């Protein structure tokens, strides 16, 4: 396989590790934990893995280590740095004992269930160090939640002598890891399960998980392209660019990109919900800024929109919740009828208030809310062209204002959606270091006999040598939520905090950014050069850890 000059140079990069992981480690246990909420329910569901303590690694003495066979799964959507997590696991278990072996299950959890795997040797690992993507073993979205799946997986784990399984994924995947850890411990299967926090959306974090891997690289990738668009926008001076960004359940990506590029308008879903805004409120807010800039001769600008915005509008959120329950409780009947019949069925069975909102939406949006569902039963908000919907509605409002003499400008639009472009980018130095540390740290958690833990690396705004390594019980992050009409244990998603430092920094500047043209052009990710250029964390992390 031919490689680019950058790939060749990156292959030689040695990720930085926390100082504590460079030698032999001992474990220091902290206070016992409890779940984020619904403590009694979570403890009842996870009696064997609930209430375990937070652990940190400290310097230790060399001990006798036996070879250990470990399995690894990449689960869910891709995020930059996954290959470095795997190389960190590989190097960690090889340091414990050179005869340790690492097996990769192919195409996600399905590989475990169907016994599709490869042994990851040094030749394979070395091909993928510091590269983007999940192509070393592939990923998948199969949910691990049924006893027969666990039992099928256990057959191949026993056959290969695997004593520990590392699941690299987001909140749903790590919830599955927790369920699997609980089951294997309850039957004394002799298999540990460790999770690693992955998602470019940035919504898997807490006091012990400062950031999910991939967020740094993805937001820097998007910000480069947003900056390019802003430069073009400021040059042509004739278009409003509506840019939708990844983030179904939280607006972290949009907020970070706004802090990096200073666009004219940024919508934050969590604020929309907190202010109980309607779709018309949002459209009016945008139109006012467009009109004010036009009055000053600036018929151009940039608007950042989180992909999950629709779900944050309270009235539409209530509609979606009723839709979810209606479809889940009538799934068999719903599956038998055609698309048009489904729309009629929904209109006939919705409450009066939600039926009114459903009927008021553009036909394309209402159809997507009703018909396009992911495997978990969720609305596929990434398919809803929110950026175009907003542009069209703003155009309609401005046309009305023009008739009333309130607006005299020009309004031409361009639309963009940045999603897949950032998921497999070559990891930034931060993500290369962070991911390698997460993987290496997972190997140490395995060596310490832990199960049901998530690999945790903290103090990440300091130099990597000062990072703190350890683990947090996955049950400590959980609560009960309604999924597909049933209450289920899940890791609580971290939303943008409106009283948090990143949002406050943004809010203190947005009026100026709306009025003036204050664009910042970050340029491409830099992999080589001074540390202030190459190794900086995201603005979000810097503000949160300040």
Nearest to 113 by CA among 76, 84, 150: 150
Decide: 452 and 178 in contact? Cβ < 8 Å: yes
Decide: 249 and 320 in contact? Cβ < 8 Å: no
Output the six-digit token pair for 470.
Answer: 């350890």
Residues in contact with 6: Cβ distance below 8 Å, sequence separation at least 6, in sequence order: 426, 527
Number of H helices, E strands in the chain: 24, 15
Provide the CA 391 distance to its chain's centre, in angstroms: 26
Nearest to 402 by CA among 283, 278, 294, 242: 294
Nearest to 273 by CA among 321, 240, 237: 321
Decide: 394 and 362 in contact? Cβ < 8 Å: no
Using alpha carbons, list the distances in angstroms from residue 462 to 265, 457, 467: 32, 12, 7
- 304, containing H or E segment: strand 301-306
Nearest to 429 by CA among 10, 18, 83: 10
Residue 532: is it exposed, middle or buried by C-beta count within 10 angstroms (0-12/13-18/19+)? exposed
Q: Which 8-state DSSP code applies to residue 467?
A: -
Decide: 450 and 185 in contact? Cβ < 8 Å: no
Residues in contact with 125: Cβ distance below 8 Å, sequence separation at least 6, in sequence order: 86, 87, 90, 102, 136
Q: What is the chain's alpha carbon radius of gyration, rounded to the nearest angstrom?
A: 24
Q: DSSP 3-state assignment of 60?
A: coil
CA atoms within 13 A on the CB side of 223: 25
Parallel/antiparallel/unpaired status of strands 468-473 and 53-59: antiparallel
Max CA pair span of the chain: 82
Using alpha carbons, list the distances in angstroms from residue 9 to 129, 148, 168, 468, 528: 11, 45, 26, 28, 10
Confirm whether 203 is a catalytic residue: no
Q: Given the residues 110, 171, 201, 216, select the one marked as catalytic.
A: 201
Nearest to 245 by CA among 288, 215, 204: 215
Output the six-digit token pair for 521.
Answer: 């052009």
Residues noted as catalytic? 201
């Amino acid at each position: 396989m031919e490689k680019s000059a950058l790939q060749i140079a990156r292959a030689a990069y040695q990720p930085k590790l926390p100082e504590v992981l460079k030698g032999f480690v001992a474990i220091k246990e902290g206070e016992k934990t409890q779940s984020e909420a619904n403590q009694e329910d979570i403890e009842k569901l996870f009696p064997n893995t609930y209430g375990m303590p937070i652990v940190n690694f400290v310097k230790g003495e060399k001990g006798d280590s036996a070879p250990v066979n470990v399995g690894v799964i990449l689960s869910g959507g891709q995020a930059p740095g996954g290959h470095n997590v795997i190389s960190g696991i590989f190097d960690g278990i090889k340091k414990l004992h050179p005869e340790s072996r690492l097996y990769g299950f192919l195409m996600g959890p399905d590989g475990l269930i169907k016994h599709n795997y490869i042994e990851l040797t040094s030749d394979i690992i070395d091909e993928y160090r510091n590269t983007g993507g999940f192509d070393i073993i592939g990923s998948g979205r199969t949910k691990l939640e049924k006893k027969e799946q666990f039992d099928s997986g256990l057959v191949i784990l026993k056959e290969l002598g695997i004593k520990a399984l590392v699941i690299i994924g987001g909140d749903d995947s790590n919830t599955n890891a927790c369920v699997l850890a609980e089951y294997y411990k309850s039957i004394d299967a002799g298999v540990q399960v460790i999770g690693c926090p992955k998602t470019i959306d940035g919504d898997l974090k807490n006091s012990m998980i400062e950031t999910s891997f991939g967020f740094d690289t993805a937001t820097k990738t998007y910000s480069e392209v947003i900056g390019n668009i802003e430069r073009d926008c400021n040059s042509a001076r004739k278009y409003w660019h509506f840019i939708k960004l990844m983030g179904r359940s939280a607006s972290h990506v949009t907020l970070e990109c706004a802090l990096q590029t200073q666009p004219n308008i940024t919508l934050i879903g969590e604020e929309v919900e907190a202010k109980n805004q309607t779709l018309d409120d949002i459209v009016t807010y945008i139109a006012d800024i467009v009109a004010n800039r036009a009055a000053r001769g600036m018929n151009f600008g940039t608007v950042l929109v989180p992909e999950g915005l629709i779900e944050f509008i309270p009235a539409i959120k209530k509609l979606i919740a009723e839709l979810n329950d209606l479809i889940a409780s009538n799934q068999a009947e719903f599956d038998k009828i055609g698309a048009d019949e489904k729309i009629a069925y929904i209109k006939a069975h919705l409450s009066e208030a939600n039926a009114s909102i459903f009927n008021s939406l553009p036909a394309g949006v209402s159809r997507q809310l009703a018909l396009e569902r992911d495997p978990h039963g969720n609305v596929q908000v990434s398919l809803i062209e929110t950026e175009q919907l907003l542009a069209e509605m703003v155009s309609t409002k401005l046309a009305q204002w023009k008739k009333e003499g309130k607006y005299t400008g020009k309004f031409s639009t361009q639309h963009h959606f940045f999603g897949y472009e950032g998921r497999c980018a070559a990891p930034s130095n931060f993500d290369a270091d962070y991911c390698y540390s997460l993987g290496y740290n997972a190997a140490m958690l395995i060596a310490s006999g832990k199960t049901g833990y998530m690999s945790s690396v903290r103090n990440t705004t300091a130099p990597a040598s000062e990072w703190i390594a350890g683990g947090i019980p996955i049950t400590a992050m959980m609560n009960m939520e309604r999924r597909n009409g049933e209450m289920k244990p899940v890791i609580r998603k971290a939303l943008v905090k409106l009283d948090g430092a990143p949002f406050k920094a943004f809010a203190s500047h947005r009026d100026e950014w709306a009025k003036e043209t204050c664009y910042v052009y970050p340029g491409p990710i830099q992999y080589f050069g001074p540390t202030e250029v190459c190794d900086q964390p995201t603005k979000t992390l810097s503000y949160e850890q300040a």
